Amino acid sequence: MSDALPQLSSDERKAKVVAAAKWVKNSALASKPLVKASVQMMPDEAVRMLQLALPQPVSPDTSILLLAAPLPVLIMRRDCAQTM
């Protein structure tokens, strides 16, 4: 902390760090988890199975996505994921 706050004494730096930690712990995001504890990651094999289960594009032009926020189903498609 001496690099970040060189103008303060050691006690003042410690007080700033304690105040910052309290502020973070009192924030709204600190009171609830960002990800539920019950969330499980899908194995790579399951993602590949989903990609294979989706229909293949009818023409080559359908594999190009020019969307700001494409649907997750389109991202999972093998042909579309390779162009991103």
pTM above 0.75, yes or no: no
Give dist(CA 79, CA 57) in Å, integer.
Answer: 8
- pLDDT in the model for residue 84: 47
Please count the CA atoms within 13 angstroms of the CA of 68 that sit on its side-chain side: 0
Q: What share of the chain has pLDDT > 70, as a percent?
A: 65
31-59 pLDDT, tens digit per residue, is: 777 777 787 888 888 888 888 887 766 65
Asked whether the beta carbons of 51 and 75 are under 8 A apart, the reply is: no
Instruction: Enter the tokens of residue 66.
Output: 């020019």
On the 0-12 / 13-18 / 19+ scale of CB atoms within 10 A, 80 is buried
Region 63-67 average pLDDT: 56
